[in-house]
Amino acid sequence: MISGAAILFDLDGTLVDSTAVVNRSWRRWCAEFGVSQEAFARVHAHGRPAAELVADLVPADAVDKALRRIVEIEVGDLDGVVALPGAHALLDALPADRWGIVTSCTAPLARARLDHTGIAPPVLVTASDVTRGKPDPEPYLLGAQRLGVAPETCLVVEDAPTGLTAARAAGMRTAAVLTTHSPADLADADLLTPNLTGLRAGPYRDGVALTAC
């Protein structure tokens, strides 16, 4: 068990399955902007903000247009985006003022996926809110600030190494779900579980707790 004042969740791959639409959208985007799949594979890492990927793949004077286009494509395609098993039950077990979501999605994309899956976080931090995305700790530090708790008292649930790196750099304890990466990739998490159905969450003393079950 790990306990703290509040819990911050990653979105894609942690609470929501968007893998099919992400792959479909980026293939379409690459075709439109003349980017090879090999070039995309070299820079892509799950959890990296789209702005960083785009900046690595197109000339500087095309970045703004290219970023707007990938957001447009992804927001317009929600086919197959679903809440992962156990997500709603886990969130429903938490006090409403004790959790939030920290995602590398832009604000429009995050809102679209959250609305589509019926998840309503009391606190949301997106790539639109920060200057440096994961693996930098800035997104998680902002999440703690918006929840009104000290970073070192926050717990984080993640599925990607970049997210775990960001959380640890923010001084937070972590739980990892094996939905997108291998146990070896996530071995430094404080808790490791196959998916959200293997976690129990709820009030604990003056905060919240996560337990692997």
Domain around 109: 2-17+81-212
End residue of a domain, out of 75, 106, 122:
75
Q: Is 129 a catalytic residue?
A: no
CB atoms within 10 A of CB 171: 15
End residue of a domain, out of 36, 60, 75:
75
Selected residue with higher pLDDT from 116 and 48? 116
Average pLDDT over residues 20-35: 93
pLDDT tens digits for range 62-107: 999 999 999 999 999 999 999 999 999 999 999 999 999 999 999 9
- Secondary-structure breakdown of the chain: helix, strand, coil percentages, each rounded to the nearest 5: 45, 20, 35
Residues 51 and 32 in one domain: yes
Among 10, 17, 159, 190, the one annotated catalytic:
10
Residues 36 and 140 in one domain: no
- The reported pTM is 0.90
Write down the H helix ranges in 4-86: 19-33, 37-43, 50-57, 63-75
Residues 111 and 170 in one domain: yes
Q: What is the pLDDT of residue 46?
A: 65
Residues 145 and 125 in one domain: yes
Residue 156: give its domain's CATH number.
Answer: 3.40.50.1000
Average pLDDT over residues 128-139: 95
Q: Is 10 a catalytic residue?
A: yes
Residues 66 and 113 in one domain: no
Axis crossing angle, helix 50-57 with helix 63-75, rounded to the nearest 10: 130
Residues 44 and 138 in one domain: no
Residues 193 and 176 in one domain: yes
What phi and psi, each to the nearest 5 degrees, are found at residue 2? -125, 145
Residues 12 and 61 in one domain: no
Percentage of the chain exceeding pLDDT 90: 90
